[in-house]
Chain A
Amino acid sequence: MSDTPIYDIENLRLSFPDMAHKPLLGPAPRVEILKGISLRIPRGDVVGIVGGSGSGKSTLGRAMVRLIEPDSGAIRFEGQDITHLGEDALRPLRRRFQMIFQDPMSSLNPRRTVGAIIAGPLKLQGFDRVSGRVDQALDHVGLPRVFRKRYPHELSGGQRQRVGIARAIATEPDFILADEIVSGLDVSSQAQVLNLLEQLVRELGLTLAFISHDLSVIRRLCRHTVVLHRGEVVEYSETQALFDAPQAAYTRELLDAIPLPDLDQVWV
């Protein structure tokens, strides 16, 4: 069992209808977003998924936690094929894979308190001792327990993102998908949230997939890195190796485009 990767993705294809080019009558043509993606994520790994906008990184993530259904190919979660499972069959699995969203302002219900937000998935999954688990989740992300009574708008960006993380870890998942969760934050809150994620991965034995366009952040956090370009995997290797000797031309282009905070004005 321990040899089974937590995710085994095989030749995954996914397309969306292209409404901009829909004829007046009849179905819209389809744009293929994922063009045959294969990927294995071993248990306990921290994998970075990078690529430019339109590379399909968020779509891949959403397919992995089955917020959307792929056209073809297979997604196996701990050996179980979840590619086309219906919502009823997915519900018990949802406890085990959770997602943290990019924009906490739109992914946290503004009319519910932090406590109610974190308790949401716990109640849905029929957990006991909900209140105690909410406290525990808050402790894990370093927010004081009094924050249970607060509303999202009363928190800073970094604190809101911690609430998103607390909600994700509350159900004790095996896998968490984090989609650009630090890109809206100031560098200092960004550093805090990344340090927190590192610590949680260690303490809770999480497997983490971390979607980002920022290779500097990936370098710090992830053991392996997948580079996506136009719906295809162009490189998948150990992070260290990828930065030392990038294989794909697109990876080199991405690396070369990062403005490092040093005095090299020849760069532009």
Chain B
Amino acid sequence: MSFLTIENLSAFVGPAPILRDVSLTVTAGEVRGLVGESGAGKSMIGKAVLGTLPPAVRVASGRIVLEGEDLLAMRPRDRRRVIGARAALIPQDPLTALNPSRRVGPQITNRLVDILGWTRHDAQVRALELLDEVHIPEPERVMRAYPHELSGGMRQRILIASAFAAEPRLIIADEPTTALDVTVQKQILRLIREMQARHGTALLFVTHDLGVVSKICQSLTVLYGGKVLEDTRVGDFFAGPTHPYSAALLAATPKYTDPDASLTPVPEAVIDGVRAEIEAFDRMHGHV
């Protein structure tokens, strides 16, 4: 049973396509990686699901179905209610995602109170529980702290707690560890996996790092220019990617255990091949 199904989603900025006929599913308890270089459209897919696309982006066609509810067919008000109750985001930069002039506590509890109608007391209890679950020592003290008083890893833990607060069925993690040190990254990945397994949440994990994908995802979608190039199981991918671009991306990923084999830039011929594929697609759909 899939929690999230995206079917033939196409989106444009002006006349330029930024998502081209994207389809993917995330099933119950699954972690799916969304991989690509900058400009591949991976963050846009997350934003489309959460209804936070920039105003310039126009969704032209396709369906986004979250637990049987067709999001794009709903009135904006209903859509916000469904998304607010069932989906959540772990953002990339924990510093900009938290309001610097407000204490941490209310930033976790307000969403529960304002959007989900919890009592302030229940929200408070839940927040303390969650901070404990994400291994934050002295949760009461942290609730009263301002974001700048906490380290980057600590702030990301708070955002993870906040994302899981209302027991969402789907979480979109948008490069949640890119801004962190490798040692902190490992702790945070471990935490995300632990929380995801405990709560049975489906996770769409946006990242450019194939190393991270190999550690945390069960399936992955490789994107280029807003088009899906490969949709596969992680085991199959690392055994041998089927699309030449995926293979080239894997070869370009540094690997300290094998310094000579790594760091081959994606060859021009491969990029040309992908561009040709995309042009052919655009011609077929009359986007040229």
Binding site for B on A (CB under 8 A): 52-53, 157, 186-192, 194-195, 213-220, 243, 253-265, 267-268
Which chain B positions have C-beta within 8 A of A258?
182, 211, 256
Contact assessment for A188 and B255 in the assembled complex, using a CB-CB cutoff below 8 Å: no
Contact assessment for A257 and B183 in the assembled complex, using a CB-CB cutoff below 8 Å: yes
Which chain B positions have C-beta within 8 A of A189?
265
Contact assessment for A213 and B252 in the assembled complex, using a CB-CB cutoff below 8 Å: no
Contact assessment for B215 and A220 in the assembled complex, using a CB-CB cutoff below 8 Å: no
Which chain A positions have C-beta within 8 A of B235?
263
Contact assessment for B212 and A220 in the assembled complex, using a CB-CB cutoff below 8 Å: no
Contact assessment for A261 and B250 in the assembled complex, using a CB-CB cutoff below 8 Å: yes
Known A188-B266, A195-B265; contact A268-B215, beta-carbon cutoff 8 A: yes
Contact assessment for B215 and A191 in the assembled complex, using a CB-CB cutoff below 8 Å: no
Binding site for A on B (CB under 8 A): 37-38, 152, 181-186, 189-190, 193, 208-216, 234-235, 238-239, 248-250, 252-257, 259, 262-266
Instruction: Please list the 6 inter-chain residue pairs (A to B) with the smallest Cβ-Cβ separation, ordered nearest first.
Output: A216-B254, A259-B211, A186-B37, A188-B266, A216-B256, A257-B182
Task: Pick from A188, A192, A195, A260: contact of B37, CB below 8 A.
Answer: A188
Contact assessment for A263 and B214 in the assembled complex, using a CB-CB cutoff below 8 Å: yes
Contact assessment for A188 and B185 in the assembled complex, using a CB-CB cutoff below 8 Å: no
* Chain B, Cβ-Cβ closest to A184: B38
Known A216-B262, A259-B215; contact A254-B183, beta-carbon cutoff 8 A: yes
User: Closest CB of chain A to B248's CB: distance in Å?
Assistant: 8
Task: Pick from A216, A220, A262: contact of B214, CB below 8 A.
Answer: A262
**Alpha-carbon distance A194/B265, docked complex (angstroms):** 10
Contact assessment for B252 and A187 in the assembled complex, using a CB-CB cutoff below 8 Å: yes
**Alpha-carbon distance A158/B239, docked complex (angstroms):** 29
Known A195-B263, A257-B185, A259-B212; contact A268-B193, beta-carbon cutoff 8 A: yes
Known A261-B211, A261-B238; contact A214-B254, beta-carbon cutoff 8 A: yes
Contact assessment for A188 and B249 in the assembled complex, using a CB-CB cutoff below 8 Å: yes
Contact assessment for B193 and A259 in the assembled complex, using a CB-CB cutoff below 8 Å: no
Which chain B positions have C-beta within 8 A of A218?
256
* Chain A, Cβ-Cβ closest to B216: A268
New A-B contacts (4) at CB < 8 Å, excluding given A157-B38, A256-B186, A259-B211: A188-B37, A188-B248, A188-B266, A263-B235
Contact assessment for A191 and B264 in the assembled complex, using a CB-CB cutoff below 8 Å: yes
User: Closest CB of chain B to A186's CB: distance in Å?
Assistant: 4
Which chain B positions have C-beta within 8 A of A267?
186, 215
Contact assessment for B37 and A243 in the assembled complex, using a CB-CB cutoff below 8 Å: no
* Chain B, Cβ-Cβ closest to A258: B182
**Alpha-carbon distance A208/B238, docked complex (angstroms):** 34
**Alpha-carbon distance A191/B255, docked complex (angstroms):** 12
* Chain A, Cβ-Cβ closest to B249: A187
Task: Pick from B183, B255, B264: contact of A261, CB below 8 A.
Answer: B255
**Alpha-carbon distance A33/B104, docked complex (angstroms):** 29
**Alpha-carbon distance A188/B39, docked complex (angstroms):** 13
User: Closest CB of chain A to B198's CB: distance in Å?
Assistant: 14
Chain A to chain B contacts (Cβ below 8 Å), 6 pairs: A186-B208, A187-B254, A213-B182, A243-B256, A258-B256, A265-B214
Which chain A positions have C-beta within 8 A of B252?
187-188, 190-191
Which chain A positions have C-beta within 8 A of B254?
187, 190-191, 214, 216-217, 219-220
Known A194-B263, A260-B214, A263-B235; contact A187-B189, beta-carbon cutoff 8 A: no
Contact assessment for B210 and A215 in the assembled complex, using a CB-CB cutoff below 8 Å: no
Contact assessment for A260 and B263 in the assembled complex, using a CB-CB cutoff below 8 Å: no
* Chain B, Cβ-Cβ closest to A256: B186
Which chain B positions have C-beta within 8 A of A253?
183
**Alpha-carbon distance A188/B252, docked complex (angstroms):** 6
**Alpha-carbon distance A260/B185, docked complex (angstroms):** 13
Contact assessment for B249 and A257 in the assembled complex, using a CB-CB cutoff below 8 Å: no
Which chain A positions have C-beta within 8 A of B186?
256-257, 259, 267-268
Known A52-B181, A186-B38, A259-B211; contact A215-B189, beta-carbon cutoff 8 A: no
**Alpha-carbon distance A258/B182, docked complex (angstroms):** 6
Which chain A positions have C-beta within 8 A of B193?
268
Which chain B positions have C-beta within 8 A of A157?
38
**Alpha-carbon distance A259/B181, docked complex (angstroms):** 12
**Alpha-carbon distance A191/B270, docked complex (angstroms):** 15
Contact assessment for B257 and A260 in the assembled complex, using a CB-CB cutoff below 8 Å: yes
**Alpha-carbon distance A259/B212, docked complex (angstroms):** 6
Contact assessment for B262 and A259 in the assembled complex, using a CB-CB cutoff below 8 Å: no
Contact assessment for A259 and B256 in the assembled complex, using a CB-CB cutoff below 8 Å: no
